[in-house]
Amino acid sequence: MSIRVLVADDHTMIRSGLRMLLEREPGFEVVAEASDGRQAIELAESLKPDVAVLDIGMPNLNGIEATRHIVQKLPRTRVVVLSMHADESYVLRALKSGARGYLLKDSAESDILNSIRAVNEGKAYFSPEISKMLAEDYMRQMQQRGVEDSYELLTAREREILQMLAEGRSNKEISSALNLSLYTVETHRSNILQKLNLHSLPELILYAVRKGIIS
Protein backbone atom coordinates (compact mmCIF):
# COMPACT_ATOMS: atom_id res chain seq x y z
CA MET A 1 0.00 0.00 0.00
CA SER A 2 1.55 3.26 -1.13
CA ILE A 3 1.67 6.53 0.79
CA ARG A 4 -0.89 8.99 -0.57
CA VAL A 5 0.73 12.43 -0.84
CA LEU A 6 -0.66 15.93 -1.38
CA VAL A 7 1.81 18.44 -2.80
CA ALA A 8 1.24 22.18 -2.31
CA ASP A 9 3.53 24.84 -3.75
CA ASP A 10 2.85 28.00 -5.73
CA HIS A 11 5.73 27.10 -8.04
CA THR A 12 4.50 24.82 -10.83
CA MET A 13 7.99 23.59 -11.62
CA ILE A 14 8.58 22.50 -8.05
CA ARG A 15 5.21 20.78 -7.83
CA SER A 16 5.76 18.81 -11.02
CA GLY A 17 9.38 18.09 -10.10
CA LEU A 18 8.28 16.72 -6.76
CA ARG A 19 5.48 14.73 -8.34
CA MET A 20 7.85 13.09 -10.85
CA LEU A 21 10.31 12.34 -8.09
CA LEU A 22 7.67 10.67 -5.92
CA GLU A 23 5.95 8.78 -8.71
CA ARG A 24 9.22 7.34 -9.91
CA GLU A 25 9.63 5.78 -6.47
CA PRO A 26 7.52 2.74 -5.54
CA GLY A 27 5.35 3.22 -2.49
CA PHE A 28 4.36 6.85 -3.18
CA GLU A 29 1.28 8.20 -4.87
CA VAL A 30 0.65 11.90 -5.46
CA VAL A 31 -3.09 12.28 -5.10
CA ALA A 32 -3.32 16.07 -5.54
CA GLU A 33 -1.44 19.27 -6.31
CA ALA A 34 -2.38 22.61 -4.79
CA SER A 35 -1.00 26.02 -5.70
CA ASP A 36 -2.01 27.88 -2.53
CA GLY A 37 -2.88 27.24 1.13
CA ARG A 38 -6.64 27.39 0.75
CA GLN A 39 -6.69 24.93 -2.10
CA ALA A 40 -4.42 22.65 -0.09
CA ILE A 41 -6.92 22.59 2.79
CA GLU A 42 -9.86 21.90 0.48
CA LEU A 43 -8.09 19.09 -1.35
CA ALA A 44 -6.81 17.59 1.90
CA GLU A 45 -10.32 17.59 3.35
CA SER A 46 -11.79 15.85 0.34
CA LEU A 47 -8.97 13.42 -0.40
CA LYS A 48 -7.65 12.81 3.12
CA PRO A 49 -4.00 12.13 2.09
CA ASP A 50 -1.56 10.34 4.39
CA VAL A 51 1.04 13.09 4.05
CA ALA A 52 0.76 16.73 2.94
CA VAL A 53 3.94 18.38 1.69
CA LEU A 54 3.39 22.14 2.09
CA ASP A 55 5.48 25.11 1.02
CA ILE A 56 5.65 27.92 3.61
CA GLY A 57 5.43 30.95 1.33
CA MET A 58 2.18 30.49 -0.54
CA PRO A 59 -0.43 33.04 -1.56
CA ASN A 60 -3.92 33.23 0.00
CA LEU A 61 -2.99 31.19 3.03
CA ASN A 62 0.59 30.44 3.94
CA GLY A 63 1.87 26.93 4.64
CA ILE A 64 2.00 27.41 8.41
CA GLU A 65 -1.69 28.35 8.64
CA ALA A 66 -2.63 25.61 6.20
CA THR A 67 -0.75 23.09 8.37
CA ARG A 68 -2.64 24.26 11.46
CA HIS A 69 -5.98 23.73 9.68
CA ILE A 70 -5.10 20.35 8.21
CA VAL A 71 -3.66 18.92 11.45
CA GLN A 72 -6.70 20.12 13.35
CA LYS A 73 -9.29 18.72 10.92
CA LEU A 74 -7.49 15.59 9.78
CA PRO A 75 -5.64 13.96 12.70
CA ARG A 76 -4.43 11.14 10.46
CA THR A 77 -2.79 13.38 7.89
CA ARG A 78 0.85 14.22 8.68
CA VAL A 79 2.45 17.35 7.40
CA VAL A 80 5.96 17.96 6.05
CA VAL A 81 6.88 21.56 5.55
CA LEU A 82 8.96 22.15 2.45
CA SER A 83 10.82 25.42 2.71
CA MET A 84 13.57 27.66 1.46
CA HIS A 85 14.17 28.96 4.99
CA ALA A 86 17.01 27.34 6.90
CA ASP A 87 16.46 28.81 10.33
CA GLU A 88 15.37 27.56 13.72
CA SER A 89 12.59 30.17 13.98
CA TYR A 90 10.79 28.71 10.96
CA VAL A 91 11.33 25.16 12.19
CA LEU A 92 9.84 25.97 15.58
CA ARG A 93 6.92 27.79 13.97
CA ALA A 94 6.27 24.79 11.70
CA LEU A 95 6.45 22.37 14.62
CA LYS A 96 4.11 24.53 16.68
CA SER A 97 1.56 24.59 13.87
CA GLY A 98 1.56 20.78 13.90
CA ALA A 99 4.02 19.81 11.18
CA ARG A 100 6.34 16.93 12.03
CA GLY A 101 8.74 17.18 9.15
CA TYR A 102 10.86 20.11 8.02
CA LEU A 103 12.57 19.88 4.65
CA LEU A 104 14.72 22.29 2.74
CA LYS A 105 13.92 22.52 -0.95
CA ASP A 106 17.55 21.84 -1.81
CA SER A 107 17.61 18.64 0.26
CA ALA A 108 18.83 15.45 -1.31
CA GLU A 109 16.30 13.18 -2.99
CA SER A 110 16.73 10.54 -0.31
CA ASP A 111 15.90 13.08 2.44
CA ILE A 112 12.68 14.01 0.69
CA LEU A 113 11.59 10.39 0.45
CA ASN A 114 12.75 9.57 3.98
CA SER A 115 10.92 12.53 5.49
CA ILE A 116 7.62 11.46 3.93
CA ARG A 117 8.11 7.88 5.07
CA ALA A 118 9.09 9.02 8.59
CA VAL A 119 6.14 11.35 9.22
CA ASN A 120 3.82 8.74 7.75
CA GLU A 121 5.01 6.48 10.54
CA GLY A 122 4.37 9.26 13.07
CA LYS A 123 7.99 10.22 13.52
CA ALA A 124 9.56 13.64 13.28
CA TYR A 125 12.02 14.35 10.49
CA PHE A 126 14.31 17.25 9.65
CA SER A 127 16.65 17.95 6.79
CA PRO A 128 20.14 16.91 7.88
CA GLU A 129 21.33 20.51 7.32
CA ILE A 130 18.69 21.68 9.78
CA SER A 131 19.47 19.02 12.38
CA LYS A 132 23.15 19.80 12.09
CA MET A 133 22.60 23.53 12.47
CA LEU A 134 20.30 23.12 15.47
CA ALA A 135 22.73 20.77 17.18
CA GLU A 136 25.70 23.03 16.55
CA ASP A 137 23.94 26.14 17.81
CA TYR A 138 22.94 24.28 20.93
CA MET A 139 26.42 22.93 21.55
CA ARG A 140 27.98 26.36 21.13
CA GLN A 141 25.50 27.94 23.49
CA MET A 142 26.16 25.34 26.13
CA GLN A 143 29.86 25.92 25.72
CA GLN A 144 29.57 29.72 25.87
CA ARG A 145 27.36 29.65 28.89
CA GLY A 146 29.52 27.08 30.59
CA VAL A 147 26.49 25.60 32.35
CA GLU A 148 25.69 22.00 33.08
CA ASP A 149 23.55 20.41 30.43
CA SER A 150 20.13 19.85 31.91
CA TYR A 151 19.99 16.55 30.00
CA GLU A 152 22.20 15.19 32.78
CA LEU A 153 19.32 15.73 35.20
CA LEU A 154 17.15 13.19 33.40
CA THR A 155 16.88 9.57 34.58
CA ALA A 156 17.43 6.73 32.12
CA ARG A 157 13.69 6.09 31.96
CA GLU A 158 13.02 9.76 31.31
CA ARG A 159 15.57 9.82 28.50
CA GLU A 160 13.90 6.79 26.96
CA ILE A 161 10.50 8.44 27.15
CA LEU A 162 11.95 11.75 25.83
CA GLN A 163 13.21 10.00 22.72
CA MET A 164 9.88 8.22 22.13
CA LEU A 165 7.95 11.47 22.57
CA ALA A 166 10.28 13.25 20.17
CA GLU A 167 9.83 10.47 17.63
CA GLY A 168 6.15 11.25 17.65
CA ARG A 169 4.84 8.37 19.81
CA SER A 170 1.70 9.09 21.79
CA ASN A 171 1.45 8.59 25.57
CA LYS A 172 -0.63 5.51 24.93
CA GLU A 173 1.90 3.94 22.56
CA ILE A 174 4.66 4.61 25.07
CA SER A 175 2.74 3.11 27.98
CA SER A 176 2.13 -0.11 26.10
CA ALA A 177 5.67 -0.26 24.66
CA LEU A 178 7.30 0.21 28.07
CA ASN A 179 4.66 -1.62 30.01
CA LEU A 180 3.84 1.38 32.18
CA SER A 181 0.55 2.89 33.23
CA LEU A 182 -0.71 5.88 31.22
CA TYR A 183 -0.60 7.96 34.37
CA THR A 184 3.09 7.14 34.97
CA VAL A 185 3.96 8.11 31.39
CA GLU A 186 2.15 11.41 31.84
CA THR A 187 4.03 12.09 35.08
CA HIS A 188 7.34 11.31 33.38
CA ARG A 189 6.43 13.60 30.51
CA SER A 190 5.69 16.60 32.73
CA ASN A 191 8.86 15.96 34.75
CA ILE A 192 10.91 15.94 31.56
CA LEU A 193 9.41 19.24 30.38
CA GLN A 194 10.03 20.80 33.78
CA LYS A 195 13.63 19.62 34.08
CA LEU A 196 14.49 20.82 30.59
CA ASN A 197 12.54 24.06 31.00
CA LEU A 198 10.38 23.26 27.96
CA HIS A 199 6.73 24.11 27.50
CA SER A 200 5.35 22.05 24.66
CA LEU A 201 5.84 19.03 22.47
CA PRO A 202 7.25 21.08 19.58
CA GLU A 203 9.88 22.52 21.91
CA LEU A 204 10.65 19.02 23.13
CA ILE A 205 11.09 17.81 19.58
CA LEU A 206 13.37 20.74 18.79
CA TYR A 207 15.35 19.96 21.93
CA ALA A 208 15.71 16.35 20.89
CA VAL A 209 17.01 17.43 17.48
CA ARG A 210 19.49 19.80 19.09
CA LYS A 211 20.72 17.07 21.38
CA GLY A 212 20.97 14.69 18.44
CA ILE A 213 18.50 12.31 20.08
CA ILE A 214 16.53 12.27 16.85
CA SER A 215 17.55 13.61 13.47
Partner 1 sequence: MLPRKPALFSSRNALLAGFGGLLILLVLSGVDSVQVLSSMRKSNEAIRREFLERAARLERIRTAVYLSGTYARDYLLEPEPERAEQHRAALNETRREIEAELAAYEGATHGEDRAALEALQKELADYWRSLDPIFAWNFRERREQGYRFFREQVFPRRMEMLTIADRIAAVNARELTAGDRKLSQMFANMRGRLLIVFAVTLLLGIMQAAVSIRQTLRLERAAARHLEEVTRARTELKELSARLVETQESERKAISRELHDAVGQSLSAVLFELRNLAAALPPDPALKSHLETTRRLVESSVSMVRNMALLLRPSMLDDLGLLPALEWQARDVSRRTGMLVNVAAGELPDDLPEEHKTCIFRVVQEALNNIAKHAEARTVRISLNRERDHLLLAVQDDGKGFRVGEQKGLGLIGINERVENLHGRVRVESEPGRGALLEIRLPLAETPAAARTL
Q: Which residues bind partner 1 (CB under 8 A)?
A: 11, 13-14, 16-18, 20-21, 24, 56-57, 62, 64-65, 84-90, 93, 105-106, 109, 136-137, 140-141, 144-145
Q: How many CA atoms lie within 13 A of 159 on its CB side?
A: 10
Of 80 and 162, which CB lies nearer to partner 1 in the complex structure? 80
Q: What Å distances lie between residue 172 and 120, 164, 165, 185, CA to CA? A: 18, 11, 11, 8
**In angstroms, what is the minimal distance from the CB of 104 to partner 1?**
8
**In angstroms, what is the minimal distance from the CB of 102 to partner 1?**
14
**In angstroms, what is the minimal distance from the CB of 58 to partner 1?**
10
Which residues, other chains included, contact 118 with Cβ-Cβ below 8 Å and sequence gap of 6+? 101, 124, 125
Ordered DSSP codes for 190-213: HHHHHHTT--SHHHHHHHHHHHTS
From the list 178, 204, 202, the residue with the least C-alpha distance to 191 is 204
Of 168 and 202, which CB lies nearer to partner 1 in the complex structure? 202
**In angstroms, what is the minimal distance from the CB of 89 to partner 1?**
4
State whether the Cα torsion 205-207-209-214 is positive or negative: negative
One-letter amino acid at 3 equals I
**In angstroms, what is the minimal distance from the CB of 171 to partner 1?**
29
**In angstroms, what is the minimal distance from the CB of 140 to partner 1?**
7
Of 84 and 153, which CB lies nearer to partner 1 in the complex structure? 84
Which residues, other chains included, contact 214 with Cβ-Cβ below 8 Å and sequence gap of 6+? 123, 124, 163, 166, 167, 205, 208
Of 91 and 201, which CB lies nearer to partner 1 in the complex structure? 91
Of 57 and 163, which CB lies nearer to partner 1 in the complex structure? 57
Of 104 and 204, which CB lies nearer to partner 1 in the complex structure? 104
| Three-state SS at 5 | strand
